[in-house]
Amino acid sequence: MTASISLATNTTNLTSENVVRSAGIASIAVLTSRISGLMREVVLARQFGAGEAYDAFLLGFRIPNLTRDLFAEGALSSAFVPTFTHYLSTRSKREAAELSNLVATAIIVIVGLMCLLGMIFSPEIVDLLAANWRQTAPGKFELAVRLTRIMFPFLLLVALAAQAMGMLNACNQFGVPALSSTAFNIGSLAIGLTLGFWAGPHLGITAIEGMAFGVVIGGMLQLAWQLPSLWRHGFSFRPALDLSHPGMRQILSLMGPAILGNAAVQVNVAVNTWFATGIFDPVRGYDGSVSWLAYAFRFMQLPLGLFGVAIGTATLPAITRSLSSNDMEEFRRTLSRSLGLVFLLTVPSSVGLAVLGRSIIGAIYERGRFDSYDTQQTAIALSCYAVGLAGYAALKVLTPAFYAMKDARTPMIISFLSIAINYAAASILIHRLGLGHAGLALSTSAVALFGFIVLFSLLRKRVGGIYGRALLASFAKITLAAAVMGAAVFLSSWGVRTLLGDAWYTNMADLVVSIPFGLAVFYATSRSLKIDELELATNALVGPVLRRFGRRMLN
């Protein structure tokens, strides 16, 4: 009996270590993707600033993105990955390939039709999200409609790319799919600049329209990047349509509540967009708020993708296999380790973004048409978004866990409750407290924290505990270490600014000094507090790099 328990514990620990290792590989790839995405935003910021053209571009890009999050990377991924992983674990590869072909064909038919309808009804959609622009900025409204029509086909391409990513993750390959966003960022920027600034005058398109065409072609590259890896795993596309197939029925049964749940999330995004387009800034009028929020959230996406998405992506196939083998102890421990790792990495990131936000935004964006006022307003939004980073990242782990248990209704119900919370919080923070775009960022954080607390409580009851006391103890230690780090970084930043003043290089000097100093303080404090997840995180993030470096040295 003792030997059996020991064997089960060793197997569970091995599974957790595999998840952490996979998360580390995915994190490195996601880091590359986020850095390339940030550089794309830097170029766009310097070319277009935070004015009318970029506001219209962001709205036009956001509309297919709303549908993508709702259908492609939201409901589809949540329903497809557990089902496909179960097929790979319990059935033949031929049956798994048949299921993937059925799903891909359905995507082409259904999402293709959605793209066509979206292009036809773009004026009505833009009017729904930005009704204020029709009265306050007519030219801006028409531009947003044109850009929306150009970019709507991006939805179909990214839906197919999301399916390819899920298949590769189910095959325990995380680096290539995580790097697919890098292909999009680099491709969309290079092609957009070429079309907008070089070929645009000859083709009769504006610079911002060239960037919109670049988004579509970048979506093609995001899909094409993953195809060779799929072929190496033995998967190739053959058209087939059978909605009565058992696997398809299971995916559709999960997708119904998942679509409704993700629809609630997109309602929040739409409501926030509506609020943002109506915010009046004393300096910029009705321009700026949409762009400031988008620029700030770009920085949120770095730790969110690097830690939350990467860990969630690596966790989902592992916990699905645990459920397939009916090993609930492995399920609980893997989920607990993943959440602990999320807290260790996101809580100090939140503090760092809040304290160093001005220097980060200024060093990267403050050039060309992006001035010091834009830096200040974007930094305010970033500090408010940072409040909810840990909750946002933890949801990337918790929500798929419910789908792995074939329960899509619970996340759906929580998502619908979040609509009321988001609207109430945004209304109070913007209109009654007068916080403007900062209030909108805070309402987003409030929704993320609410969703995490409720889902964690429900899942803990459902599975008989997720090592909650150990998690709470780790969270308390991590918060203390992050607070010590925050104080140290604040003093460091104050010293740099006092010494250098408002010179053009002050922001970069602050980051060069304060970030390594903050990391060192956090690491030392975490070691002294004996935070268990520290060694796991170090192995996950540093291990793959050291192993590759070691192999190269040996070669």
Q: Is the pLDDT of residue 6 over 70?
A: no
Reported as a single tens digit per residue, the pLDDT across 448-457 is: 899 899 999 9
pLDDT at 1: 37
The pLDDT confidence band at residue 214, using thresholds 50, 70 and 90, is very high
Tokens 């189910």 belong to: 170
Q: What is the rounded radius of gyration, in angstroms, for the C-alpha atoms of the chain? A: 23
Q: Is the pLDDT of residue 544 over 70?
A: no
Count CA within 13 A, CB hemisphere, residue 513.
Answer: 19
Q: Is the pLDDT of residue 190 over 60?
A: yes
Give the contacts of 122 (CB within 8 A, at least 6 positions apart): 63, 145, 148, 149, 152
10 CB burial (10 A radius; 0-12, 13-18, 19+):
exposed
pLDDT at 7: 33
Phi, psi (degrees; rounded to nearest 5) at 333: -65, -40
Picking from 10-19, 114-123, 454-463, 516-525, which range would have the lowest pLDDT averaged per residue?
Answer: 10-19
DSSP calls for 298-330: HHHHHHIIIIIIHHHHHHHHHHHHHHHTT-HHH
CA distances from 120 to 124, 128, 149, 154 (A): 9, 15, 8, 15
pLDDT over 90, % of the chain? 19
pTM: 0.66
Reported as a single tens digit per residue, the pLDDT across 401-416 is: 887 787 878 888 888 8
> One-letter amino acid identity for 265?
V
Indicate the average pLDDT of the chain: 80
Reported as a single tens digit per residue, the pLDDT across 114-163 is: 899 989 998 888 888 777 777 766 788 888 899 999 999 998 998 898 88
Give the contacts of 528 (CB within 8 A, at least 6 positions apart): none
Asked if residues 248 and 399 have their Cβ atoms less than 8 Å apart, the reply is: no
Reported as a single tens digit per residue, the pLDDT across 529-540 is: 988 778 766 765
DSSP state of 195: I
Candidates 472, 445, 318, 441; CA nearest to 388 is 445
Q: Is the pLDDT of residue 270 over 90?
A: no
pLDDT at 28: 61
pLDDT at 52: 77
pLDDT at 8: 39
Other beta carbons within 10 Å of 259: 21
Picking from 23-32, 210-219, 227-236, 313-322, which range would have the lowest pLDDT averaged per residue?
Answer: 23-32
In terms of phi and psi (left: phi > 0; alpha: psi -120 to 50; beta: otherwise), the region of 329 is alpha
The C-alpha atoms of residue 94 and residue 462 are separated, in whole angstroms, by 34
pLDDT at 485: 96
Tokens at 193, concatenated: 């600049």
Average pLDDT estimate for 44-49: 76
212 CB burial (10 A radius; 0-12, 13-18, 19+):
buried
The pLDDT confidence band at residue 199, using thresholds 50, 70 and 90, is confident
